Copies of this chain bind each other. A is one copy, B any other.
Amino acid sequence: MGITKTEIFTRQQNETALLMKALGHPARIAIVEYLLSVNACICGDIVNELALAQPTVSQHLKELKNAGIIKGNISGNAICYCIDETAIATLRGYFGGISDNLEKKKKMCC
């Protein structure tokens, strides 16, 4: 079938998966890292940073934006993108939580 059965999972699980999925492509990881490497937002030169065509980059930016990982502000005829701290904090918290949990129940097997 090819369609994800979202209805059998919790809302939290679906949302977490969407966040992770948005970062599940090297171009989108590269975009996030680039946004991070420059102070503040980037208005314009994201396309030049990646060896991908402009529509492709635009599409990746859209996906990151839909997932809430980046924010875009219109600034003249360019658009100003930056990382949304909330999403990153969520991810940090998620993995931090798992990590702590694993530490506690340290190892009954494996």
Tell me the dominant secondary structure on chain A's binding face.
Answer: helix
A: number of interface residues (CB 8 Å):
52
A73 adjacent to chain B (CB < 8 Å)? yes
- Of the candidates B32, B40, B107, which one forms a contact with A107 in the assembled complex, judged by CB atoms under 8 Å apart? B40
Query: 1/0 per position for A8-24, CB-CB distance to B under 8 A?
Result: 11100110111011111
- On whether A92 and B99 interact (CB within 8 A), knowing A5-B51, A16-B29, the answer reads yes
- By a beta-carbon cutoff of 8 Å, the part of chain A in contact with chain B is 4-6, 8-10, 13-14, 16-18, 20-30, 32-33, 36, 39-41, 50-52, 71, 73, 80, 82-83, 85, 88-89, 91-92, 95-96, 98-99, 101-102, 105, 107-110
